[in-house]
A and B are shown apart, each in its own frame.
Chain A
Amino acid sequence: MTVLPIRKSPDLIGVLDLQGGVHEHLEHLDRLEIPSRRVKDASDFTGLAGLILPGGESTCLARLITIFGLKDVILQHYRLGMKIWGTCAGAILLAEKVLGENSCLGLIDIEIERNGFGSQLDSFVAESMIPAVSGEILPLTFIRAPKILKTGKEVNVLLRIDDYIAAAENDGVLVTVFHPELTGSVAFHRYFSEKCGLTPQSEAAVISDWGMLSWMKHARIAS
């Protein structure tokens, strides 16, 4: 009898694990029972339906993905259908234009300004209704956040606040300048999972027992 290898369809969401808020995204994906993986090397991309580029410092992340050859790997998997979501610094990496700097991946036609609000003293929380993403008002956390200044024709604006755009998407890419992973809401993680063709197991929009320290179970010293 010949055993034919079964080619599994991609069913994982990866979180780029070079620097920044990696554990926080893993925690949210866990809550939705979405299988996830930390992504550090080219071999980690196998089977990814989606990739999250976390918040962190975009200059550091851009440098690391370039020198370790991950830029080409990301672009190659994107062309094969892998969806990508960038939060904060991740959104900067995905933008076609970065004010005053070179772009990195250039996968969504937006113009973005790094650190658009000022210093840490200008970091803030807000809340907003984003009908495309959830029927509930969502908490938003902005930490030294960038501002999306312009979007191209192919880009769908999900949230506009005052003079800037805070969330947008095209077919393959989602960008948010705020951090859903730093709130108790899993609405954006659900939305991205569905964009990747995956089905989250949990129905909840908000994790009732979420706290700002919930991510730490992924980074314990002793257990």
Chain B
Amino acid sequence: MDSKRYELNVQLAQMLKGGVIMDVTNVEQAKIAEDAGAVAVMALERVPADIRKQGGVARMSDPAMIAEIKKAVTIPVMAKARIGHFVEAQLLEALKIDYIDESEVLTPADEECHIDKTTFSIPFVCGARNLGEACRRIAEGAAMIRTKGEAGTGNVVEAVRHMRTMNREIRQLVQMPVEEVTGFSKANGIPYEIALKVKELGRLPVVNFAAGGLATPADAALMMQLGCDGVFVGSGIFKSADPAKRARAIVKATAYYNDPQKVLEASMGLGEAMPGLEIGQIPPEQILAGRGW
């Protein structure tokens, strides 16, 4: 990927700022998401809550299903490839979708290497739990970052943890004298040049969205107030009692995240949220955020 193409890819993510990206599994859901004001959809066969329940190996979705969704909407379409599965990524690029999520929600295909995203023209978003992980993905060519959170739980606690961790580490970097950056980078696995960039910018050098466990308008506003540039909502919408209503409410709360009165109005009468999972109840080997490195 040449630098101009990378710039365009980062800039597409900039145009998504302040927006909500929604997981959808069919054309009907994609249309509901678009009508509700989603800025993009993530096309996949099973939302994370079902992947978690059904177990087994989760792979890239059927390209025919992704193609149908692409045809049905005019907003950008994203789809997931397994961590390290560069051929799934090649197929998604050939399908000409708009963004690839190299995602821990799917079963990793490589336990040592993430995809070399610099060899692609299509943009990638990757998950991160901390500044080091985010910067390593950026070094590999990611044009957008999201928190990993813990997908499919309806529990925002991990997304909050990941965002607070990144923010704390960014604050540390900004405040430290430059001679301490080498040691800090080494300790946190941050490529040195990117650490300097983060120090200068006071934030990640790409757009950073919240993801993993968001289920309510208040969850979305919480992540926005913590400094995220926008949000992903996966299972939270189509596993709730009234998806269209909840989708619209989360779009409103994300746009007006600093206005409690508007978030309050958006939160009224939405019906049941998706069933939630306590993180401590999940067996350690089923924690998705631990995938990737």
Q: Identify the A interface with B (CB < 8 A).
A: 17-24, 40, 55-57, 59-60, 63-64, 67-68, 88-89, 114-115, 118-121, 123-125, 141, 143-144, 179, 182, 212-213, 215-217, 219-223
- Asked whether A19 lies within 8 Å of B174 as measured between CB atoms, the reply is no
Please determine whether A118 and B167 come into contact, CB atoms closer than 8 angstroms.
Answer: no
B201/A213 in contact, CB under 8 A:
yes
Given contacts A19-B17, A20-B17, A59-B34, contact A223 B174 (CB under 8 A): yes
| Docked-complex contact A182 and B11, CB < 8 angstroms | yes
Q: Is B16 an interface residue (CB 8 A)?
A: yes
Binding site secondary structure of chain A: loop
Distance A68 CA – B251 CA, assembled complex (angstroms)? 12
Q: How far is the CA of A176 from the CA of B34 in the complex (A)?
A: 24
Residue pair A120, B76 in contact (C-beta under 8 Å): yes
Given A20-B15, A120-B122, A144:B34 Cβ within 8 A: no
Q: In the assembled complex, how far is the CB of residue A223 from the closest CB belonging to chain B, in whole angstroms?
A: 5
Contact B255 A141 (CB under 8 A): no
Q: Which residues on B are within 8 Å of A, measured CB to CB?
A: 4, 7-12, 14-19, 34-40, 70, 74-77, 93, 96-99, 121-123, 166-167, 170-171, 173-175, 197, 201-203, 205, 227, 229, 248, 251-252, 254-256, 259, 262
Chain A residues near B4 (CB-CB < 8 A) = 125
Expressed in whole angstroms, the Cα–Cα distance for A40 and B201 within the complex equals 26
Min Cβ gap A22→B in Å is 7
With A124-B8, A222-B202 known as contacts, the answer to whether A88 contacts B36 (CB < 8 A) is no
- B255 with A18: CB separation less than 8 A: yes
Whether the Cβ atoms of A63 and B37 lie closer than 8 Å is yes
A124 and B8 alpha carbons, distance in the complex (Å) = 7
A residues within 8 A CB of B18? 17-20, 22, 56
Specify which of B16, B37, B76 lies most central, judged by the most chain A CB atoms within 10 Å of its CB. Answer: B37
A-B contact pairs, 28 of them (CB 8 A): A17-B18, A20-B15, A20-B19, A21-B17, A24-B14, A40-B256, A56-B17, A57-B16, A57-B40, A59-B34, A60-B75, A63-B35, A67-B248, A89-B15, A119-B97, A120-B98, A125-B4, A125-B8, A143-B11, A144-B15, A144-B98, A182-B11, A215-B14, A216-B205, A219-B229, A220-B201, A221-B170, A221-B203
